[in-house]
Amino acid sequence: MLIVGSVCLLALSDALVKYLSAALSLWQLLAMASLVSIPIVAGCLVLRGGLAALVPGKIGWVMLRSLLLLAMWLLFYAALPLIPLATAAVGIYTTPLFIAMMASLMGDERLTLRRWAAIGIGFGGVLLVLRPGPGLVSVAICLPVAAACCYAVAMVLTRRHCAGERPLVLALGLNLSFALAGLVGSGLTATTIGDTAVRQGFLSRQWQPLDIFEISLILVYALLMVTVNTGVARAYQIAPSSLVGTFDYAYLIFAIGWGFWLFGEVPDGPMLVGMAIILIAGWLVIRQHKA
């Protein structure tokens, strides 16, 4: 329930980023959202455990996890203005395959041959949706896959080294990394990019004046991310990474829904077949886990 609810809200937040990418800078979004989310998360921690609750038990692992997730978000957000939301979603949802592999190599989660086969079938569905070929492989498609790898490592680390941390502490670490990236990125775009045409990109644009509606969307995005980060962290703390990663597949359905509703993006036949294969593979993995 935690992971399915979280990925539903996550798909909505990604759709908001895609919508806002035409109006402001990624760095502006990260910095402004952090101004909202950090006080909320920190305030909740202090109310529940005092100032000492702000300090993680394993600060090094929490920092590494936060940096990996920051890299994941930057790679994924960089792709959103360039490709449909559903395509980006499928690219990043090579994640369960990476999670299963890393959980097997780094942890004590043993995967049966049948579960490996089911995960392989799911990855085949991903390839059907992306349909990679000499004329189709692009940086925009590769970015979500690279983001998936970063996410997988972060979630395995969550299970192995951050299981005892409060979910809000993990969310605070991530939002602090967002704030740092927003400030550094804003400074770089303000001082190192001189070409007016180059400045129009989501990653290179300077801070822009915003209206009330856009500010409201940023506020909604910040609240969504606090909820999502806390829910995802808790889910990976209390269940095996490969199992929770399977439920992550629900994101694909929500991404299609939000993409259609907000941007009029209609998936074609091969994409729908690939999605069905991915969902069936997820069910097979769950069934093997219960067995």
DSSP calls for 40-51: HHHHHHHHHH-G
Give the pLDDT of residue 176. Answer: 93
Q: What's the domain count of the chain?
A: 1
The tens digit of pLDDT for each residue in 3-44 reads 888 889 999 999 999 999 888 899 999 999 999 999 999 998
Alpha-carbon span 114 to 103, nearest angstrom: 16
State what percent of residues in the chain have pLDDT above 70: 86
pLDDT band at 245 (very low <50, low <70, confident <90, very high): low
- Quickly count: other Cβ atoms within 10 Å of residue 253's Cβ: 18
pLDDT in tens, 127-181: 777 666 554 446 777 888 899 889 888 888 887 888 888 888 888 998 999 999 9
Query: What pLDDT score does 286 carry?
Result: 58
Q: Which structural domain range is residue 161 located in? A: 2-290
Which pLDDT belongs to residue 136?
Answer: 45
Helices (H), 50-165: 59-79, 85-92, 95-106, 113-130, 139-161
Q: What is the pLDDT of residue 15?
A: 92
Top pLDDT among 71 and 236 is at: 71
pTM of the model: 0.81
Whole-number Å distance between alpha carbons of 258 and 262: 6
Q: Average pLDDT in the 182-186 region?
A: 91
Higher pLDDT, 126 or 120: 120
